[in-house]
Structure formats: C-alpha cells, structure tokens
Chain A
C-alpha cells in the first residue's frame, strides 16, 4: 500500500515536470487540393497526440470546382467545431513571380522552389497579400484564424508587424510572436519540420527533433506535411507524436 503511494507520488511529480515542457503539433498546407487525404492524416495525428491539433490552412481555391470547394468548407467547419485550431498559411502558398523582391527574397524563392510567397516583397504588396489571404479565408465563413504562418517561414521586414495587427499570433523559424499590452512578445520555439529535407538525412532529423523535445527549453513546433506521410511513413510519424507526447504537453498557439 505504502509502495503504491510512493509510485503514485513519483508519477505525479513526473507529470508536473512534463507539463512544464510544452510543444505545438501543427499540420501544414491543408488546402482545397489535398483536404480529403489531409483530413484523415490530421485526425490520425490528433488521435496519437490525444487532443485536437493546429492546422495551417492555405485559403486559395485556385481552379477547384465549386463542389470540391463546398466540401473543403464543410471539412473546415467540422474541424473548428471539434476544437482544432486554424492558422492561416499564406494566400496561395506559391509565390507570385511577377512581384518585385529583394535579393534575400529571391534567394529564398530559389531554395524553396518558389513557395516562399511573402519573401522579400515590399510593404504595400505585403499588406495587399495579407488582406487577400484574409479575404480568401473569409470566403469560407468559419470565424477568424488564430494566427498567421508565412509559407516556408520566410517573410520580410514588414510582415511580422502587419500580421500581428490582424492576427493574434505570428511565427518565423526561431519563435512565435504575439502582442502583450501592445508590445510584441517572442516565445522561443524551434521549427521541427521534415518536408524540405533530403531523404538521406530524414532519420537524423527525426532523432534531432526527439532530442529537442527531450531537452528543456522552448515551445517547439512539430510540423508535418502531406509529403512526410510518404517520405517518413505514417506509422513512424504517429510514433514520433506519441513519443513526444510522453515528454511534453501538447498545446495550441492560443494556449501560449
């Protein structure tokens, strides 16, 4: 009896320690083009984590037929009702090559295969693109997203301030930002993403991600894309989520 009490005390102390360490689990690039497959993947991730997760949504419809767009809206509404958190992930993710960009912006496009939509564009175009992103989102009619995640985490010097004027949260590769009493507060957070890594180093990247989660410090973001389910494999991804959940408490951006 006494021994059981000791074990319970140790387990309670471990649980308290684990709760101090937190992480965010986010599925990226949920869009009208992949929502059927992605919905299943998101629900599996949430099941492995034990609660709803954050979803970064690309709001552009593109050339999708109206019936697909309607199903996409319904799926989003379902996620919102089930308690999933929605983040906006650019307007259409892919960069508009006709826009003028700074040299770092052009380099970002080169490395991201033209996916870094906001990289290196000027203040006026940043504002216009953000408004377009929000307008596209409003066409879905499912409330306001919690925050904004720039595609490939590449922005420009105007984006953070402009995004935080509209949304509660903004993030880049090194942290998550939100406004507290009018001042921008940064939460240190590493981005643990696998989609743009070459397959030869995926195993090491997974070990690095698990090690980051094991060590104290930061509210790290574990990010998965549709592509990861093909390269890493579903079972390994779900195991990684389960393993991480034993070391850290999963939260959402709005819990920061």
Chain B
C-alpha cells in the first residue's frame, strides 16, 4: 500500500517537474520574444 503510494508520488513529482520545465522554457521564450520585438520596433 505504502509502496504504491510512494510510486504514485514519485511519478506525480516527475510529471510536475517536466511540465514546469517546459512551461519555464515557454515563458522565458515568451518574455524574450516580446523584448526582441520591442527592440526591433525601437530600431
């Protein structure tokens, strides 16, 4: 019972970390993309 619960927690943590990592990439790109657009406009 405990073993199953532990495995579920580990799987959930790994999935959360992977999703967070991809969202981090997306957000970073989003913020930098806007910045580069602004820079081009300024130029």
Contact = CB atoms under 8 A, between A and B. Distances in A.
Interface of A: 203-204, 206-207, 210-211, 235-236, 239-240, 242-243
Contacts of B28: 203, 207
Interface of B: 20, 23-24, 27-28, 30-32, 34-35, 38
A39 B40 CA distance: 26
A236 B38 CA distance: 11
B23 A235 contact: no
Chain B binding surface SS class: helix
Contacts of A242: 34
Contact of A240 (B23, B24, B31, B38): B31
Given A235-B35, A235-B38, A243 B30 contact: yes
Contacts of A236: 31-32, 35
A5 to B, nearest CB: 30
B31 A243 contact: yes
B1 to A, nearest CB: 31
Nearest to A209: B27
Contacts of A239: 30-31, 34-35
A207 B20 contact: yes
Nearest to B30: A243
Contacts of B32: 236
Contacts of B31: 206, 236, 239-240, 243
Nearest to A211: B23
Contacts of A235: 34-35, 38
